Chain A
Amino acid sequence: MIVEPSTDRLLQRSQRGDARAWEQIVHRYKGLVFTAAKRVGLNDDDANDVFQATFLALHRHLDRIEQAETLPKWLAVTASREALRVKRIRTKHQGVDLGEDRSLDDLVAFEEASAEASAIRLEQGLHLREAIAELPGRCQDLLTLLYLEEDVSYAEISEKLGMPLGAIGPTRARCLEKLRSRLEKGGFFE
């Protein structure tokens, strides 16, 4: 079994200048950051820019992040904020009316609230993926195919996992309960 280093350890190593730890941080949170950009409705080019800007910001602020558990939220908020800023600029350039009665302060406050809300949902998505990855093999494979991959039919799941079609439903129920229980212990529903 491959034991993944904790985020705490990766953060400490990155703060000491360990390039491999930085690489692992980028890989661990690439989905979170890129999804934050795409959810705002940016195209791939703009989302790529937001991705780069977010990790640049992290690199600059690395020494100021003291608690590893705050890192996913920090990344999600930073990426969402940057994505909303880019979207605002793009919308303005396309001549879309942003609402004359809204002051810049209103707009910034709105974006800040949106970024916070988006970050909460992204963090939940991250925790869900981490919890599925920690499930025993068969449950991990089944829930990944069912929930995290797109348009996989029951017939394909049956073939990939060597599981009779009739066993998918009951196994799904057992695995979902294991996932729910794990998430509950981690404070997912609070």
Chain B
Amino acid sequence: MKRDCHLFAADLVELAHGEDRQEAASHAADCASCGILLHHYREVLGVAQEKWHYPSAGVVANAISIFPAAPRRVAALAGHTFGFAGARRSAAEAFQLRFEDEGVAVRVAYEPTAGGWTLMGRTDAQAVYHLGEAVPVNEGRFQFDVATLEDSEFEIDGPKGTIVIPAATQVIDDEPGRNP
């Protein structure tokens, strides 16, 4: 690389975009590394300028439906804290639930907030999804907000497929003697 290459860095980009930059053009013709740089920019722009087309949502849905929907595998409740029985009350308290399935454990703390609930979890699963969106998992910890506990169902990536962690309200309703 020549000593003055940095002087032409911005102009090489302009040149690649079709602007008239004669000094940069003659420099690129003499300087191998800048010549390659210009070639790279042109190649990137050439690919970027090729229009992409996207199918309609209905067409995408048809392709998705090719795959037979597997029966939902729902994790079993493996433990809970006392506060969970009061989760349906208006002045709800924080509580924790523990789920297990296929050797994967998930511990979730449900904390009431002004706008709903915050779910803070720990899991050894590699991925967590809520309403179809991936939830960031950092060293096994994840967190997301829901408006109501009815919306607290989420999914994890188990060793044999997706495992559903049921909504807390579903668990409360299913536990005999736990529905306040």
Contact = CB atoms under 8 A, between A and B. Distances in A.
B84 to A, nearest CB: 28
Interface string A122-140: 0011001100000000000
Nearest to B133: A2
B67 A147 contact: no
Interface residues of B, number: 45
A38 B56 CA distance: 13
Contacts of A48: 55-56, 59
Interface in A1-59: 1-5, 9, 13-14, 16-23, 26-27, 30-31, 34-35, 37-38, 47-48, 51-52, 55-56, 59
A125 B43 contact: no
Interface string B118-156: 000000001101001111110000000000000000010
**Which 8 residue pairs spanning A and B have beta carbons closest together?**
A147-B48, A22-B67, A55-B63, A173-B13, A38-B53, A18-B161, A34-B55, A173-B10
Interface of A: 1-5, 9, 13-14, 16-23, 26-27, 30-31, 34-35, 37-38, 47-48, 51-52, 55-56, 59, 121, 124-125, 128-129, 147-148, 150, 169-170, 172-173, 176-177, 179-180, 183-184, 188-189
